[in-house]
Amino acid sequence: MDSYAIAALIAAILFFALGLATLVRRSGRGIIALVTAFALTAVWLLAIAVLGSVTAEAKAAEAIRNLGWLWFMASIADSRSREQRISAVGWIYIGLFSIQCLLATVVVVAAQFNHPLTGLEQTITSLQMLCAAGALVLVHNLFEAGRADERKALTLPLGALATLWAYDLNLYAIGYLSGAPADLLLMLRPEAMIAVAVLFGVDALRPSGHGVRLSRPVAFRSLALAAVSGWLALLALLAALMSGFGGDFGARAQVGVLAAALAAIVLTFASPRIRAQIRVWTVKHFFEHRYDYRTEWLRFTATLNRPEDSGLSLDARVIKALADIVESSGGQLVARDHAGDYALVAQWPADGEGRAQDANWADLAQWLASGRIVQFDEVRDGAAPAAEIAAVPPRLVTDDRAWIAIPLIHLDSVEGIAVLDRPLVNRALDWEDFDLLKVAGRQVASHLAEARGSEALAESARFDEFHRRFAFMMHDVKNLASQMALLARNAERHGDNPAFRTDMVATLKLSADRLGQLMQRLSQQDMTRPARCASVDLGTVARRVVSARRAQHPVLVEGEAPAPAWADAETVEQLLVHLVQNAIDASAADTPVTLRLGGDGDHVTLAVEDQGMGMSPAFIRSQLFRPFSSTKDGGFGIGAFQARRLAEAMGGSLTVTSREGEGSIFTLTLSRADSVGRDAHLQDSEAA
């Protein structure tokens, strides 16, 4: 037994099993017709497995099989019809029934009288092709005429029938036009019937009342597969037709058709615009709704809630989330600040400065308060209301990329405006676009308002914590002030007493130390240049800071060579105290902090290195040296800011390199003391 017969037997067994399962599991109108169609299909498959596909018995069995499927389709149509008279669709059923009855009769009579079917092959092929085409029309009618719940319930059965009739149509169309049987399609016919049986099997196994609805990606891929199948059938037809011309013309024509097909495929996959046009055309003609709302909302929410370290800020994610809905190529976000003014805050993709940076947004925001979505093409054509034309900034009118403006409304207040660029395939927006964009705009506005409110609340909390600590320190300041006032009064009476002067000096020193400590804890942002700069050995200062911290944490100094820097010793020590303490706080208890001395010809460097959690590039770029921004719980975030200001005040710099999970390195760079003296000497010589 060859593979063709084996595949046909497998398909026959599947259809027999389907008939039994349907008879046991289901009941109702049309079930008898479906079971009969399964049984007749199984008999036909047995006939072609045992006798072959071109025998009279097989052809008669095929015609009877077709009658069974037409009966099943007619039972579905009849259950919906409320008309007493025969409709146009009913006449199609009658015509197809008649054709199949005629075919079965002719084949049976010819076999009875041993009449060869050779002379009837073309007639049989043309009638079967006509029947398959008519049956496909009826399948489409069954799907389109049904209600939404009926469509879901019949998706798989009608899909299986469409596969059956479409395969037969290709088989007989190629055979009719070429004048010879399509051998490849005949050989693969049992496998095609197995696929049909699988579709019916999935439908039979699903729970009753639960319809099947294909997702959009599956629907698009199915459509693409159908298009490829149709294209291959067309190529086979053209090849059969061109082979009849003889000579080299047929071969050259076939090569030309193949080259054109490959070029069309490459152009389709390489051009985003063509793919977008195909997608728009498919959605328009094959789907009841433009959007798969579940998929769109999941993608929209995922984009908005993407973490900051993904490379996109919240403002950029807002633009991308809205642009993805209508397949826009980009856009701009205008937001309202604390003063109530509107300004351009972000652009996605970040390919340059905002194209409407200096636009006046107030009038447009006021116009958009009604919730209307502005289409700039209508403004350019003069089709928009006069008030809308007056409200749109001229820069947006002249920018042909600007497509629509979406209001971001939160609690009846316009939080911002999203200006989207034109998509690859320009199209007119309809009610479905407007409804979805308005809802998405309100969601975005709520997200922005929540983010702005969280930032304001966090900043307020930081100031509140700072003020609370300042209030505790004010008690010490008041005590010191009282002590100093008492000392000043006593100095007038006991200034000549040596013992009093000794006590006064000690008291002043103690008060100065306490004030210095307070000032260090409440260091201000306005730092002036140190009054006295001189040659300072960075190694000596580093070791002094390290010796005060060794009892707290392991701290090492590397590079023992003298490192004379032009700086202020007290300022350098204050700066290092900040950096070393931050490194200790970021490190594990047993992980040492390392201070490395180095430099080149004109500069000396001191690097403070830890192996802590590190910092993200976004934090370093936008928050590290910003006051009140800290990665530590309870930190003020002024240490790094003050350290950089101190370094700059001495004519140096403070840089940082960090990787998350690996640690950070803060590098203080100062001028070498001897190079400063040499430069000063040269300047004096030039002046002389």
Q: Tell whether 52 and 166 lie within a shared domain.
A: yes
For residue 686, the model assigns a pLDDT of 46
* DSSP result, 283-306: HHHH-SSS--HHHHHHHHHHHHT-
Q: Is residue 590, in this structure, part of any structural domain at all?
A: yes
Count of domains observed in the chain? 3
Q: Tell whether 178 and 317 lie within a shared domain.
A: no
Q: Is residue 388, in this structure, part of any structural domain at all?
A: yes
Segment 182-202, tens digit of pLDDT: 778 888 888 989 988 988 888
Segment 562-621, tens digit of pLDDT: 778 989 888 888 788 888 888 888 888 788 999 999 887 788 999 999 998 888 877 887
Q: Is residue 101, in this structure, part of any structural domain at all?
A: yes
Measured at the CA of 88, the angle between CA 84 and CA 91, to 5 degrees, comes to 85
Q: Tell whether 159 and 298 lie within a shared domain.
A: no
Q: Tell whether 123 and 33 lie within a shared domain.
A: yes
- Domain containing residue 639: 534-679
Q: Is residue 408, in this structure, part of any structural domain at all?
A: yes
Q: Is residue 503, in this structure, part of any structural domain at all?
A: no
What stretch of H or E contains 558?
strand 555-558
Amino acid at 464: D
CATH of the domain at 326: 3.30.450.40
Angstrom distance (rounded) from CA 669 to CA 687: 29
Angstrom distance (rounded) from CA 354 to CA 332: 7
Q: Is residue 362, in this structure, part of any structural domain at all?
A: yes
Q: Tell whether 299 and 207 lie within a shared domain.
A: no
What would the two tokens of residue 262 be?
């490959």
* DSSP result, 595-652: EEEEE-SSEEEEEEEE-SS---HHHHHHTTTSTT--SSTT--S-HHHHHHHHHHHTT-
Find, among 274, 239, 241, 268, the residue nearest to 254 by Cα.
239
Q: Is residue 550, in this structure, part of any structural domain at all?
A: yes
Close Cβ partners of 37 (under 8 Å, ≥ 6 residues apart) = 65, 68, 69, 71, 72
Find, among 309, 183, 294, 301, the residue nearest to 236 by Cα.
183
Chain Cα centroid distance, residue 425: 20
pTM as predicted: 0.40
Q: Tell whether 551 and 435 lie within a shared domain.
A: no
What would the two tokens of residue 501 be?
């002067």
Close Cβ partners of 582 (under 8 Å, ≥ 6 residues apart) = 639, 640, 666
Q: For 98, phi and psi rounded to 5 degrees? A: -65, -40
Instruction: Name the β-bridge partners of 360.
Output: none
| Residue 61 · residue 47 · CB < 8 Å | yes
Chain Cα centroid distance, residue 673: 55
| Residue 665 · residue 607 · CB < 8 Å | yes
| Residue 353 · residue 363 · CB < 8 Å | no
Segment 542-551, tens digit of pLDDT: 888 887 666 5
**Bond preceding residue 349 cis, omega within 30 of 0:** yes
Q: For 574, phi and psi rounded to 5 degrees? A: -60, -40
Close Cβ partners of 673 (under 8 Å, ≥ 6 residues apart) = 534, 535, 536, 564, 565, 566
Q: Tell whether 146 and 27 lie within a shared domain.
A: yes
Find, among 584, 607, 622, 600, the residue nearest to 655 by Cα.
607
Find, among 361, 359, 400, the residue nearest to 381 by Cα.
400
- SS3 call for 372: coil
Q: Tell whether 105 and 15 lie within a shared domain.
A: yes
- CB atoms inside a 10 Å sphere around CB 246: 9
For residue 234, the model assigns a pLDDT of 58
Angstrom distance (rounded) from CA 208 to CA 27: 10
Angstrom distance (rounded) from CA 537 to CA 253: 88
Q: Is residue 477, in this structure, part of any structural domain at all?
A: no
Using DSSP bridges, classify how beta strands 593-599 and 555-558 pair: parallel, antiparallel or unpaired: parallel
Chain Cα centroid distance, residue 76: 43
With both helix axes pointing from N to C terminus, report the angle between 293-304 and 314-325 in degrees, rounded to the nearest 10: 170
- CB atoms inside a 10 Å sphere around CB 148: 10
What would the two tokens of residue 394 be?
């001229």
Find, among 339, 347, 288, the residue nearest to 316 by Cα.
347
Angstrom distance (rounded) from CA 236 to CA 182: 9
Close Cβ partners of 159 (under 8 Å, ≥ 6 residues apart) = 199
- SS3 call for 672: strand
Burial classification of residue 302, based on how many CB atoms lie within 10 Å of its CB (0-12 exposed, 13-18 middle, 19 or more buried):
exposed
In 400-451, at which residue ranges do the beta strands (DSSP E only) sit? 402-410, 413-421
Q: Tell whether 175 and 39 lie within a shared domain.
A: yes
| Residue 295 · residue 389 · CB < 8 Å | no
Q: For 346, phi and psi rounded to 5 degrees? A: -160, 155
Q: Tell whether 427 and 553 lie within a shared domain.
A: no
Angstrom distance (rounded) from CA 564 to CA 537: 4
Taking the CA atoms of 119, 121, 123 and 124 in sequence, report the sign of the dihedral they define.
Answer: positive
Count of residues in the chain: 688
Find, among 332, 309, 310, 308, the residue nearest to 320 by Cα.
332
CATH of the domain at 600: 3.30.565.10
- According to DSSP, residue 339 is labeled T
Burial classification of residue 73, based on how many CB atoms lie within 10 Å of its CB (0-12 exposed, 13-18 middle, 19 or more buried):
buried
Angstrom distance (rounded) from CA 672 to CA 563: 8
Last residue of a domain, one of 449, 470, 504: 449
- CB contact burial 398-433 (16+ within 10 A = b; e otherwise): ebebbbbbbbbbbeeebbbbbbbbbbbbeeeeeeeb
Residues of the chain with confidence (pLDDT) below 50: 208-214, 285-286, 524-531, 681-682, 684-688
- CB contact burial 350-367 (16+ within 10 A = b; e otherwise): eeeebbbeebebeebbeb
Burial classification of residue 656, based on how many CB atoms lie within 10 Å of its CB (0-12 exposed, 13-18 middle, 19 or more buried):
middle
Q: Tell whether 309 and 205 lie within a shared domain.
A: no
What would the two tokens of residue 452 be?
């702005």
Last residue of a domain, one of 213, 239, 261: 213
Q: Tell whether 202 and 301 lie within a shared domain.
A: no
Find, among 436, 447, 357, 374, the residue nearest to 409 by Cα.
447
Last residue of a domain, one of 392, 420, 449: 449
